């Protein structure tokens, strides 16, 4: 004979209760204890301590991971894809048993693509929600502002979309699997020059954003190294909608191509207005232009855009094919580079977490995650990946960048086609 009663159990993040079974001898013991209450109460406490120490294991913990992304505002097309990538990976990981039996719980917050909001969201996730690590934020501008919060709190900040120079020099708790513009842009230019017979280019970039300014700096260095003449350099600011003055100058300069460092909010209308002016030259874009959204935002005017990234929808590896199929089925839309990088980032973190013995001491667990991440090697939707140590401004070891080879694609119709 057995009866059921509530029996306490402990686990690292939130104590829980579970149903325990008592046999007939247990009931007899309870009867005896009623006759000798004090003595047997002490025995009960001792028995309970022994049970919790040596009895069945505690229930699995939820591994709380923060996600700070731009889910509204001008960068929402990136942030939404990133969130989707995380959610798909977590659903797969949890369905397969989680991490050492523990399930991942995402704590998602909208940082709106704004520096001030990114700081507030990081503070909330780290100090109030007490997450184990934080993914994000979406834009390099926001990462420059918010990542120091995570570094000071000794909590991993893992970027999946910020590619500007200097992000990982903030400190040794800063990681990213988004390949830097410095690694990608030279290859993109070389491929475009080879395929389109480009001799001279015009440069157009956003001069009020960390990402687009860093992109310009890396484009300029690559053009100098390749000895490609620049006919004119033009700028714009976030929120601009009319680019005809800059494009008219570019057209008059006789450039064979436009080198463009922009986010989609400005980049897509630039493409449309260039074509409207009869400027049908190739456009060589950075990370911000590498999204399937370009086919919607620059509808009918998106051909001949060269971009580089470790990920391409045309890359038919088993890992990428599986990802694209699963993403499309779940979200009823095609993924982009940002979704793929988020998806892989979660699997990279999961691999590190398998080597972390979660203790319930948050500071120690956060430090353990930071120690486990650098050794991870993973082959996913974006191909073979590993981390590469970055240095700070003084030359001392700091955070970790992505070590991956870029794939260069060009837009044709409504797809990115790999080109070499």
What sign has the CA pseudo-torsion 343, 345, 346, 347?
positive
Question: Terminal CA-to-CA distance of the chain, rounded, Å?
Answer: 74
Contact 67, 86 (CB under 8 A): yes
Between CA 122 and CA 199 the distance in angstroms is 46
pLDDT of residue 241: 97
Extract the residue ranges of the chain whose pLDDT is less than 50. Answer: 1-58
pLDDT of residue 2: 36
Tokens coding 172: 């040794």
Contact 329, 285 (CB under 8 A): no
Pairing mode of beta strands 383-391, 377-380: antiparallel
DSSP secondary structure string for all residues of 195-246: HHT---EEEEEETTSHHHHHHHHHHHHHHHHTT--EEEEEEE-TT----HHH
pLDDT of residue 368: 98
Between CA 190 and CA 188 the distance in angstroms is 6
Contact 155, 120 (CB under 8 A): no
Separation of CA 45 from chain center: 48
Strand partners, 175: 158, 400
pLDDT of residue 54: 37
Burial class (CB in 10 A: 0-12, 13-18, 19+), 134: buried
Go through the domains of the chain in sequence order and give each one's CATH number.
2-54 (no CATH), 62-179+315-404 (3.40.50.2300), 182-309 (3.40.50.2300)
Question: Among 193, 156, 198, 189, which Cα is nearest to 387's?
Answer: 156
pLDDT of residue 6: 36
pLDDT of residue 61: 67
Between CA 356 and CA 225 the distance in angstroms is 44
Between CA 385 and CA 245 the distance in angstroms is 42
pLDDT of residue 56: 37
How does DSSP classify residue 127? I
Contact 411, 303 (CB under 8 A): yes
């Amino acid at each position: 004979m057995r009866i059921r009663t509530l029996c306490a159990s402990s686990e690292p993040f939130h104590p829980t209760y579970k149903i325990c079974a008592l046999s007939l001898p247990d009931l007899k013991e309870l009867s005896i204890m009623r006759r000798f209450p004090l003595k047997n109460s002490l025995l009960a406490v001792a028995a309970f301590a022994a049970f919790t120490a040596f009895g069945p294991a505690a229930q699995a913990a939820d591994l709380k991971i923060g996600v700070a992304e731009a889910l509204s505002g001008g960068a929402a097309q990136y942030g939404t894809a990133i969130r989707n990538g995380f959610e798909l990976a977590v659903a797969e990981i949890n369905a397969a048993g989680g991490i050492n039996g523990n399930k991942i719980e995402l704590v998602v917050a909208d940082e709106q693509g704004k520096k001030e909001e990114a700081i507030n969201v990081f503070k909330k996730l780290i100090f109030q929600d007490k997450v184990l690590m934080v993914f994000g934020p979406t834009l390099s501008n926001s990462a420059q502002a918010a990542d120091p919060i995570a570094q000071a709190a000794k909590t991993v900040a893992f970027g999946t979309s910020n590619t500007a120079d200097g992000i990982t020099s903030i400190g040794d708790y800063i990681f990213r699997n988004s390949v830097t513009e410095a690694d990608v842009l030279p290859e993109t230019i070389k491929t475009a020059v080879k395929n389109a017979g480009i001799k001279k280019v015009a440069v157009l970039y956003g001069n009020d954003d960390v990402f687009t300014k860093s992109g310009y700096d890396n484009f300029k260095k690559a053009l100098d190294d390749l000895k490609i003449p620049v006919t004119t350099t033009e700028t714009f600011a976030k929120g601009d909608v009319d680019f005809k003055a800059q494009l008219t100058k570019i057209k008059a300069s006789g450039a064979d191509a436009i080198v463009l460092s922009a986010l989609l909010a400005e980049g897509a209308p630039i493409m449309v207005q260039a074509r409207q002016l009869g400027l049908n030259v190739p456009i060589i874009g950075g990370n911000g232009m590498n999204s399937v959204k370009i086919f919607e935002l620059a509808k009918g005017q998106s051909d001949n855009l060269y971009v580089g990234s470790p990920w391409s929808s045309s890359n038919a590896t088993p890992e990428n094919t599986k990802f694209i199929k699963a993403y499309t089925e779940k979200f009823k839309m095609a993924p982009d580079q940002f979704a793929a990088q988020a998806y892989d980032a979660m699997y990279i973190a999961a691999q590190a977490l398998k080597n972390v013995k979660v203790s319930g001491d948050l500071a120690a667990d956060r430090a353990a995650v930071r120690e486990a991440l650098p050794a991870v090697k993973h082959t996913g939707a974006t191909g073979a990946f590993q981390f590469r140590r970055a240095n700070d401004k003084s030359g001392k070891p700091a955070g970790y960048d992505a070590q991956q080879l870029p794939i260069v694609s060009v837009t044709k119709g409504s797809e990115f086609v790999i080109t070499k």
